[in-house]
Amino acid sequence: QLQLQESGPGLVKPSETLSLTCNVSGGSISSRSYYWGWIRQSPGKGLEWIGSMYYSGNTYYSPSLKSRVSMSVDVSKIQFSLKLNSVTAADTAVYYCVRHDPLANWFDPWGQGTLVSVSS
Amino acid sequence: QSALTQPASVSGSPGQSITISCTGTSSDVGGYNFVSWYQQHPGKAPKLMIYDVTYRPSGVSNRFSGSKSGNTASLTISGLQTEDEAHYFCSSYTTSSHVVFGGGTRVTVL
């Protein structure tokens, strides 16, 4: 059974870079059918897609975050990563890593999520 | 990109059926059959309940069903049970930003 698990600092200072990693277990990250993505949820708010990437490195990002986001994948470690730079308090959220079907545009499964707070 | 429009809350008694709407535009919900629905219990990650408007992933109860008419997609929960009490989010492909979510609907079982 495919499982995803996020890891990374729970506290980031304003203007610094948020970095998270997602470890994939129970399946291959090199699947030709799926992308790997990140979604965040601000406290008490809805869901926001950040971006998705293919194991070969092809990426696409939300236009609203594109200027600050980068994603990468490490096939040998079966993990992928997110970097969001120049963070502000508005970036405080629970960050989820997901498997993304890019054709039908659904997300499954989801990691358990990790809360990242932006504060000095 | 504006979020898809969902009612803030919907409630029903055990055994009843409820329907949650998700309204978008011809650039997202109305233009593509790529609508999915997610269930989220407090403190938990969202779970895929419906994809491609009407399809249920393996393991999801057949009490959950999806449909679409024009720019509005709907999720119906039949035979409402206490464990169905959760937040529900819709999502769609959109031409402008690939992915758009609804604001979420809180389902309460009375």
Q: Do B104 and A47 touch (CB under 8 A)?
A: yes
At residue B2, the pLDDT reads: 62
pLDDT at A69 over 70: yes
Which residue of A35, A67, A105 is the best one to mutate when testing the B interface, meaning the one whose CB has the most B CBs within 10 A?
Answer: A105
Give the whole-number percent of chain B exceeding pLDDT 70.
Answer: 98
pLDDT at A60 over 80: yes
Which residue of A35, A49, A106 is the best one to mutate when testing the B interface, meaning the one whose CB has the most B CBs within 10 A?
Answer: A106
Distance from CA of B92 to the nearest CA of A (A): 7
Q: Do B92 and A60 touch (CB under 8 A)?
A: no
Residues in chain B closer than 8 A to A110 (CB atoms): 45-47
Distance from CA of B17 to the nearest CA of A (A): 24
Q: Do B46 and A47 touch (CB under 8 A)?
A: yes
pLDDT at A107 over 90: yes
pLDDT at B75 over 80: yes
Structure tokens at B76: 């119906």
Number of H helices, E strands in chain A: 0, 11
Q: How far apart are CA A72 and CA B39, in angstroms?
A: 28
Residues in chain A closer than 8 A to B46 (CB atoms): 47, 96, 107, 110
Report pLDDT digits (tens) over A2-53: 999 999 999 999 999 999 999 999 998 988 889 999 999 998 778 999 999 9
Report residue B11's pLDDT band, with 50, 70 and 90 as the boundaries. Answer: very high
Distance from CA of B81 to the nearest CA of A (A): 24
At residue B22, the pLDDT reads: 98
At residue B65, the pLDDT reads: 98
A110 vs B: CB within 8 A: yes
Number of H helices, E strands in chain B: 0, 9
A112 vs B: CB within 8 A: yes
Give the whole-number percent of chain B exceeding pLDDT 90.
Answer: 94
- Cβ-contact A44, A94 below 8 angstroms: no
Report pLDDT digits (tens) over A80-91: 999 999 999 999
| A108 → closest Cβ in B57, B101, B103 | B57
Burial of B89 (0-12, 13-18, 19+ CB in 10 A): buried
